Structure 1
């Protein structure tokens, strides 16, 4: 099983320890283009996680899913990924607003 937050962590999360796969697949950004690439990859990963959960939900609804636990795990991973991306977005907006309030 892969970590649900493996591909959606922001730049600089290498300081996080104890989370399996926390920085796995996260490119190191050196400039604004790198940050944008990490952000775009985060949204792509989120979309893929949600699509996989939706596919398993459709299988469960039609009776084709053999183990409902697979769906429950996928849905929880998608939920955690969504929560992580929303939190990251909120923190980025807060940081931007704080920078804009700084006197010049």
Structure 2
């Protein structure tokens, strides 16, 4: 299986099949906002799952310690990743503001 660089790919390869039409800026903004909302929801769900597993462990319910630790680590990684993405987005925005017009 050959691995091609991103620059060698055609635009139609980057878009999901059946989505060859161009979207308006408004539609793109809506799709991006929805994607961010879903990503934040996934991080929230991971945090809640970690809380539930930790609570079960503390209350003495039948739960494996390694499952609790794995769930907590997944939530931690997801939160740290989302914070780093936020930080990079803010840095990019600030850099754009510093550009001369």
Note whether the superposition's TM-score is higher than 0.5.
yes
The offset of 1:65, in angstroms, is 3.1
Partner of 1:59: 56
**Aligned positions of 1:1-104 closer than 5 A:** 31-104=28-101
Query: TM-score scaled by structure 2?
Result: 0.71
State the 1:38 CA deviation.
Answer: 1.3
Q: Deviations over 1:26-65 (max 9, x none)?
A: xxxx622221111111110000000000000010001103
Q: CA RMSD in A?
A: 1.3
Secondary structure, aligned partner of 1:65: coil
| Runs of 4+ residues deviating >3 angstroms | none
Q: How many residue pairs are counted as aligned between the two chains? A: 76
CA contact (8 A) 1:50 1:78 kept: yes
Which structure has the greater CA radius of gyration? 2
| Higher helix residue share | 2
TM-score by length of 1: 0.69
CA distance in 2, matches of 1:56, 1:66: 8
Partners of 1:93 and 1:66 lie apart in 2 by: 40
Which consecutive residues of structure 1, in runs of 5 or more, have no partner in the other structure? 1-14, 16-29
